[in-house]
Amino acid sequence: MTAGPRPRTIANKTDDPPADPASLTLQKVSKHYGALRAVDEVDLEVREGEFVTFLGPSGSGKTTTLQIVAGFTKPTSGKVLIDGKPVTAPPHKRDIGMVFQNYALFPHMTAADNIGYPLKIRKASKKERRGSIAEALDMVGLAEHGDRYPSQLSGGQQQRVALARALVFRPRIVLLDEPLGALDKKLREHLQLEIKRIQHELGITMVYVTHEQEEALVMSDRIVVFNEGRVQQVGTTEQIYERPASLFVADFIGESNIFQGSLEDHGGTRYLVSRAFRFKIPTNVSSPADDGPLALVVRPERLRILRPDAHTQVEENTVEAVVEDVIYLGNERRYTLVAASGHNLIGRHQVGVSSGDSPLVGTKVLAVWHVEDSIVVPIG
Amino acid sequence: MSIYRLALSAFGVLMVVFLVAPTLVLVPVSFSSGRALQFPPPGFSLRWYETIVTSPTWSFSTVVSFQIAVLTAILASILGTLAAFGLVRGRFPGQSVANAVLLSPMIVPVVIIAIGMFAVFASWRLAGSPLALIIAHTVLALPYVVVNVGASLRTVDRTLEAASMNLGAGPLTTFRYVTLPLILPGVLAGALFAFIVSWDEVVVSIFLSSPFLQTLPVVMWNQISEAVDPTVAAVATLLTFATTILFALATFVQRRSER
Ligand SMILES: Nc1ncnc2c1ncn2[C@@H]1O[C@H](COP(=O)(O)OP(=O)(O)OP(=O)(O)O)[C@@H](O)[C@H]1O
Ligand SMILES: [Mg+2]
């Protein structure tokens, strides 16, 4: 990312289009179940070797989109392209690896036989198979467990067998549907790194589904935010966090202070105004086409908390508030404030970096942020 | 309380004796050295078992029964498995009617089925042929296969089949390597039951047999109505023994698949 503020536009849905040829392309892909639009006109390009994550709340269409790519679900309309060519082949001819949410290991085969299955189907010789299986088991750290049945493996081990099985036949694209959902935090973090490492080593294109934003932030080259079947935004972790395209994205990713109002222009300076406040907004925010309501979003770490009598700059927005709570989290303090307007605000400051005394609970303060730290997004 | 329990136990034992005794009585009789069906037998001998082996009527019908039962088991398990797939996986109008029709041989009185079969096969000039017996037995055995395979199939996780496809296997390969192994206990249990149904069947077989083609139970039936000697008891003992073994095997396979 380049330093300094970059031009902000409202609803910058897709960021710079990928330069390399796309490995996987979705063009206006929709899937309707009766009146329900499970997937609604999804456009997406995934580059060769890229790690892309689908992030969104439950029921937002992530699994359905993966199923369409894998060929298990026929889209109502739209096209899926691999290497620029439309794919209509049945699932078993797509050469796309998939790790299912419940692992889907064959219970009547050992770990080694599960991993060898795609090779057997492809009529690899016994010798070839044995070599590849050993290699794959080794890669996921299960060299000793090849002859165990899935029922004799722990959840994390089953997960790794499923991953090895999806990778062993060297598909160019691997889809993973919440593969770590059922595991505890520690194991999950370990496997996140392992998956990333393997992906990097083999240079595979991966599409990963999760509803854990932290997981998405850690693993992804780019994130695709889903809501109600629609792609809300596609971008790098930083773009999604710093320049959310909609209130939904701003609210869903990370913590936010949100003010809703409408745009007003006073002698060249533009404000977001409601009955309770009037905030300056960055000059490069373009007006919404439909003149609809807007929201101003400030990230908690951009909010400074000052004494009520502190001097502020012209280029700053201020809100009078009372400290409701302070939580000491070791590396940072988390403030909860109640503004005079009734808004709840959150501030987060690293301990040792922010100067001055920490304001006490119940005291009056001034919450301050720089105009350029305001993120203005359309509502809805 | 204890009297109540005692009475209950006594009643239970009585029921078992009542159910099993008529069958078990034939076992000692079959080893009799006498010429008549007589209990208790006057002495021990294997002569009636010898008769089975040496008499062409008995040995031929044993072979016939076995062949027909094996072919029935094979045919019924193939057709029953296909039917179970349609009934469990399919979505088509009249599905519940199809289900009822397939299971009806379990409910409809066998005599009625026998008369119907006889009428049809006679008009096709097939009455008395092995083909007619195999088809008729298959119809009777089909419900057992459909029920057993259907129960297995319902427990198969469909994402396993999706995973198989995803790994490159077409529908047939997926069936062979994933679905079939998972429902195999159900298919085996169904096949064993089908064998037993055919092996024991007497009513339909009487209608469809000819002097040149008689299954074991039919020969027994004919013998009993003519001259009674302990050969029948020996045959009955063998039949019961085979059926018990197969039934135990089928139950064992079923149990295993439920685990
Ligand atoms: N076969 C189906 N028939 C009808 N509706 C369906 C079907 N499959 C999915 N849906 C609906 O489509 C929507 C999207 O489902 P999908 O499984 O893609 O969500 P998701 O984003 O994967 O959610 P989660 O995070 O809970 O897994 C949901 O509202 C779901 O109820
Ligand atoms: Mg899902």
**Distance of residue B251 Cα from the nearest chain A Cα, in angstroms:** 21
* pLDDT over 70 (residue A5): no
Identify the residue whose tokens are 């050969």.
Answer: B231
User: Are B168 and A98 inside 8 Å of each other by CB?
Assistant: no
- Residue A378: its H or E element: strand A375-378
CA atoms within 13 A on the CB side of A311: 1
Q: How confident is the model at residue B163 (pLDDT cuts 50, 70, 90)?
A: very high
Q: Which residues pair with A365 in a beta bridge?
A: A321
Judge whether A169 is closer than 8 Å to chain B, CB to CB: yes
* pLDDT attached to residue A380: 67
The Å distance, Cα A55 to ligand 1 centre, comes to 14
Q: Are A210 and A53 in contact (CB under 8 A)?
A: yes
C-alpha B244, offset from chain centre = 11
Using a CB–CB cutoff of 8 Å, tell me whether A36 touches chain B.
no
Beta-carbon separation of A121 and B167 below 8 A: yes
pLDDT band at B240 (very low <50, low <70, confident <90, very high): confident
Which residues of chain B are within 8 Å of residue A94 when distances are taken between CB atoms? 166
Q: A267 pLDDT exceeds 90? A: no
Q: How confident is the model at residue A13 (pLDDT cuts 50, 70, 90)?
A: very low
A104–B181 CB contact, under 8 Å: no
Q: What average pLDDT is seen over chain B?
A: 90
- What letter does residue A149 receive in the DSSP assignment? -
CA separation for the pair A328, A326 (Å, rounded): 7
| Cβ-proximal residues to A227 (8 Å cutoff; 6+ apart), any chain | A56, A57, A60, A248, A252
CA-nearest of A51, A55, A86, A61 to A175 is A51
ipTM above 0.95, yes or no: no
Cβ–ligand 1 distance for A61 under 6 Å, the answer yes
User: B47-258: which CATH topology?
Assistant: MetI-like fold (1.10.3720)
Supply B90's token pair.
């399919």
Planar angle of CA B38, B43, B49, nearest 5 degrees = 80
Instruction: With beta carbons less than 8 A apart as the criterion, state whether B72 and B201 touch.
Output: no
Give yes or no for residue A376 having a pLDDT over 50: yes
The mean pLDDT value for A45-53 works out to 93
- For the ranges A310-314, A343-347, B160-164, the maximum mean pLDDT occurs at B160-164
Q: Range with the lowest mean pLDDT among A275-289, B39-53, B54-68, B83-97? A: A275-289
A369 closest CA partner among A298, A308, A287: A298
Return d(Cα A152, Cα A140) in angstroms, integer. Answer: 17
Alpha helices, DSSP H, located in B104-215: 110-123, 130-154, 158-166, 171-174, 180-200, 203-208
Residue A181, ligand 1, Cβ within 6 A: no
Asked if A87 and A71 touch (Cβ cutoff 8 Å), the reply is yes
Kindly report which listed range (A95-99, A343-347, B131-135) carries the lowest average pLDDT score.
A343-347
Nearest to A92 among B160, B165, B177 (CB): B165
Q: Following CA atoms A309, A310, A314, A316 in sequence, which dihedral angle do they give, to the nearest 10 degrees?
A: -110
In this prediction the pTM is 0.79
Closest CA to A299 of A238, A355, A360, A357: A238
SS3 A301: helix
Nearest CA in chain B to A105: B160
Q: Where are the domains of chain B?
A: 47-258
B106 close to A (CB below 8 A): no
| Mean pLDDT calculated for residue range A257-278 | 84
Tokens of A88: 């209509």
Q: State how far the Cα of B73 lies from the Cα of A83, in Å rounded to an integer.
A: 51
Whether residue A359 contacts residue A368, with contact meaning beta carbons closer than 8 Å, is answered with no
The pLDDT value given to residue A10: 43
Question: Could you tell me if B159 lies within 8 Å of chain A, comparing CB atoms?
Answer: yes
Rounded percentage of chain A residues whose pLDDT exceeds 90: 41
- At A199-222, the pLDDT tens digits run 988 889 999 999 888 889 889 999
The residue among A69, A105, A117 with the most chain B CBs within 10 A of its CB, best to mutate, is A117
C-alpha of residue A100 to centroid of ligand 2, in Å: 10
Average per-residue pLDDT for chain A: 86
The pLDDT of residue A290 is: 63
> Dihedrals φ, ψ of A226, to 5°?
-105, 145
> Residue B209 above 50 pLDDT?
yes
**B123-136, pLDDT tens digit by residue?**
999 888 999 999 99
Examine the pLDDT at B180 and tell me if it is beyond 90. Answer: yes
pLDDT over 80 (residue A116)? yes
Distance of CA A107 to the CA centre of its chain: 33
Q: Which residue has the tokens 């209130």?
A: A247
